[in-house]
């Protein structure tokens, strides 16, 4: 029997076994940001330990950074304190920080791949659950806590137990208007928000093989919303083409050698999986969430499910809680539901492909009256590319607020927040209670195409109908 990529990368990075039985796993690449690292640096100082391999850690500021005015001092003194702490901690340790003036600042999960720091066959960690994103190039990438950030800084290793591997296959051709986001929401809806507990998800099948890299990032990003701590796609020609020429990608002869090495990490054809699940690409509709967990989703033409139709008592109770919080009725069609805010951005859908897909749809159209629409590029690099390609101007012309790079309204640690019980059509990753900054705010997760449809109609809408004149 052959091996999975997960097993190969795990074995290649195993230092040994700890007395309690856990594996000591070497971490090839570590990212830090301002929210989950200051305590770790403080712990190091307390233990009088240096950063062992500063060249393997990369820093940026993303969560707290305002997307309208980044002039310092920032309006929120606590945000400034966190930014200063990251600067001081990384400078003292000799860690490269992609700070605001560098042109490389952005959401950590955007800039890692864009800079080519994220490479196949690596173990990659960050104090951030959406680190799973980096698995799209064929790495073991996972979120860790702050104490573990300290462990990586001090030892470049972690005490870990291996996950099981579930092969999640999507076979066939995605229908027009169906994106990686819809695929991810569909899979989470089918397997459950806790379906991936104990598993890494290896995404495969013809629909994934045909998916461009930015879509794969979206898919792996959302693995954690299905409880899979890591998601990954085997590295292939699309992966190598994506990485080639990026600042941190190997060059020349080293490139050829790296590609050969990366290929060797791909799962063997006869790899043994702990579980296999197969979905049919044609079954996937543009998908939207209606509740307070990412698995509470329906197709755009669906109706909000009734608690009494739930398969079990826990689901019934969860639906009651969700309907109450969302102020929605069971049986109500989701299409046509008015929204207040549209947010296109985040580590899930703030990449160049997302803005490129939406721009032609917005051309000649306007954001509906009364709707606040935010477009927040994931990184300064993406922002500059959007300016260069005229994309930013199309968004502005349509009535979007074109913002500076950051996490923004995905988790609202900066000034971008919902007010009261506003409903947000959001391309982000979590619809948890209060997630977008108001304790009563309501989030509908969807693809950038559906968010664009929501922006121009002011309601939840089917992008295939709203943009019928455009090829989706």
Partner 1 sequence: MALNKIITVRGKAVPVAGADMDTDRIIPARFLKCVTFDELAGTMFYDERFNADGSSKGHPIDAPQHAGATIILGGENFGCGSSREHAPQAIKRSGIQAVVAESFAEIFFGNASGIGMPCVCATHTAMQTALRITADAPQTEWTLDLKSMTLSCPMATLPVTMPAEPREALMQGRWDAVVELMNAPEAVESLSAKLPAPALS
Name which of residues 190 to 249 contact partner 1 (CB under 8 A): 193-194, 197-198, 227, 229, 247-249
At its nearest, how many Å lie between partner 1 and the CB of residue 218? 18
Measured from the CB atom, the residue of 251 and 396 that comes closer to partner 1 is: 251
Please identify, using beta-carbon distances, which residue of 94 and 336 lies nearer to partner 1: 94
Say whether residue 430 binds partner 1 (CB under 8 A): yes
User: CA 228, CA 132: separation in Å to the nearest integer?
Assistant: 9
User: Mask: binding to partner 1, 35-54, rule CB under 8 A, as x and -?
Assistant: xx-xx--x----x----xx-
Residue numbers 357-386 binding partner 1 by CB under 8 A:
none
Q: Which residue lies nearer to partner 1 by CB, 172 or 434?
A: 434
Task: For partner 1, give the closer residue by CB, 58 or 217.
Answer: 58
Q: Minimum CB separation from partner 1 for residue 405, in Å?
A: 18
> 273 and 167 in contact (C-beta within 8 Å)?
yes
Q: Which residues of 82-112 are buried (b: 16+ CB within 10 A; e: fewer)?
A: bbebbeebbeebebbbbbbeeebbbbbbbbb
Nearer to partner 1, 403 or 435 (CB): 435
| Alpha helix ranges (H) inside 363-442 | 380-388, 391-398
Answer yes or no whether residue 433 interacts with partner 1 by CB under 8 A: yes
Nearer to partner 1, 148 or 287 (CB): 148
The C-alpha angle with vertex 374 and arms to 376 and 213, in degrees rounded to 5, equals: 40
Binding residue for partner 1, selected from 32, 51, 74, 79, defined by CB under 8 A? 79
Q: How far is the CB of 431 from partner 1 (least distance, A)?
A: 10
For residues 398 and 362, is the Cβ–Cβ distance under 8 A?
yes
Site for partner 1 in 249-308 (CB under 8 A): 249-251, 254, 258, 293, 295
Token pair, residue 97, equals 């920080």
In 10 A of CB 47, how many CB atoms? 9
For the CB of residue 456, give the shortest distance to partner 1 in the complex, in Å: 30
CB of 82 to partner 1, least distance (A): 6
How far apart are CB 393 and partner 1 at their closest, in Å?
A: 32
- Nearby residues of 299 by Cβ (< 8 Å), 6 or more positions away: 285, 286, 287, 288
Q: List the beta bridge partners of residue 125.
A: 30, 142
227 vs 371, beta carbon nearer partner 1: 227
Region near partner 1 per CB under 8 A, out of 9-17, 101-109, 376-384, 446-454: 9-17
Residue numbers 317-336 binding partner 1 by CB under 8 A: 317-318, 321
Q: Which is nearer to partner 1, 285 or 340 (CB)?
A: 340
Site residues (CB under 8 A) for partner 1, limited to 100-129: 116-119, 122, 127-129
The smaller minimum CB distance to partner 1, of residues 104 and 400, is found at 104
Per rule CB under 8 A, count of chain residues that contact partner 1: 88
* Angstrom distance (rounded) from CA 195 to CA 312: 15
To partner 1, the closest distance from the beta carbon of 264 in angstroms equals 13
Q: Determine the Cα–Cα distance for residues 49 and 286; give it in Å rounded to an integer.
A: 50
The phi, psi pair for 292, rounded to 5°, reads: -120, 15
Contact 29, 122 (CB under 8 A): yes
CA distances from 406 to 85, 113, 122, 196, 422 (A): 18, 16, 25, 28, 21
- Helix (H) or strand (E) holding 41, with range, is helix 38-47
**For partner 1, which stretch binds (CB under 8 A), given 303-311, 313-321, 392-400, 451-459?**
313-321
The CA distance from 1 to 203, in Å, is: 19
- 71 secondary structure, DSSP code: P
Rounded CA gap, 29 and 140, in Å?
10
194 Rama class: left (phi>0) / alpha (psi -120 to 50) / beta: alpha
Measured from the CB atom, the residue of 142 and 174 that comes closer to partner 1 is: 142
**What's the closest the beta carbon of residue 468 comes to partner 1, in angstroms?**
37
Task: Restricting to residues 137-176, name those near partner 1 by CB under 8 A.
Answer: 142-148, 150-151, 154-159, 161, 163
Q: Using CB under 8 A, which of 6, 10, 26, 355 touches partner 1? A: 26
């Amino acid at each position: 029997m052959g091996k999975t990529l997960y097993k190969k990368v795990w074995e290649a990075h195993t230092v040994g076994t700890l007395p309690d039985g856990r594996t000591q796993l070497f971490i090839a690449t570590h990212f830090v940001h301002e929210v989950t690292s200051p305590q770790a640096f403080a712990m190091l100082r307390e233990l009088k330990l240096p950063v062992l391999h500063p060249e393997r850690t990369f820093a940026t500021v993303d969560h707290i950074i305002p997307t309208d005015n980044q002039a310092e001092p920032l309006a929120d003194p606590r945000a400034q304190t966190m930014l200063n702490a990251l600067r001081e901690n990384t400078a003292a340790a000799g860690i490269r920080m992609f700070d605001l003036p560098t042109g490389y600042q952005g959401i950590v999960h955007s800039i890692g791949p864009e800079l080519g720091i994220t490479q196949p066959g690596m173990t990659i960690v960050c104090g951030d659950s959406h680190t799973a994103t980096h698995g799209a190039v064929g790495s073991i990438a996972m979120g860790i806590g702050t104490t573990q950030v300290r462990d990586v800084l001090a030892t470049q290793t972690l005490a870990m137990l291996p996950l099981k591997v579930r092969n999640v296959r999507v076979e066939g051709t995605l229908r027009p208007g169906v994106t990686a986001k819809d695929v991810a929401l569909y899979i989470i809806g089918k397997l459950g928000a806790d379906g991936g507990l104990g598993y890494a998800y290896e995404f495969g099948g013809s629909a994934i093989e045909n998916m461009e890299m930015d879509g794969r990032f979206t898919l792996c990003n959302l693995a954690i919303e299905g409880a899979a701590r890591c998601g990954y796609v085997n590295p292939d020609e699309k992966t190598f083409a994506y990485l080639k020429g990026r600042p941190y990608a190997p060059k020349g002869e080293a490139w050829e050698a790296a590609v050969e090495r990366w290929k060797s990490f791909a799962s063997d054809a006869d790899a043994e999986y702990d579980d296999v699940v197969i979905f049919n690409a044609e079954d996937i509709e543009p998908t939207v969430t209606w509740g307070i967990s990412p698995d509470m989703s329906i197709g755009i033409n669906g109706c909000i499910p009734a608690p009494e139709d739930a398969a079990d008592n826990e689901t019934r109770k969860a639906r009651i809680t969700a309907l109450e919080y969302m102020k929605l009725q069971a049986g109500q069609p989701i299409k046509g539901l008015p929204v207040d805010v549209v947010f296109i951005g985040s580590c899930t859908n703030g990449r160049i492909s997302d803005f490129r897909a939406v721009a032609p749809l917005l051309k000649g159209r306007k954001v509906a009256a009364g709707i606040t629409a935010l477009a927040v590029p994931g990184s300064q690099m993406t922002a500059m590319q959007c300016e260069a390609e005229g994309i930013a101007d199309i968004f502005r012309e349509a009535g979007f607020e074109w913002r500076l790079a950051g996490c923004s309204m995905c988790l609202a640690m900066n000034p971008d927040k919902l007010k009261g019980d506003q409903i947000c059509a959001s391309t982000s990753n979590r619809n948890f209670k209060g997630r977008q900054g108001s304790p009563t705010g309501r989030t509908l997760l969807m693809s950038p195409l559906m968010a664009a449809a929501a922006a121009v109609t002011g309601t939840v809408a089917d992008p295939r109908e709203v943009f019928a004149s455009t090829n989706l």
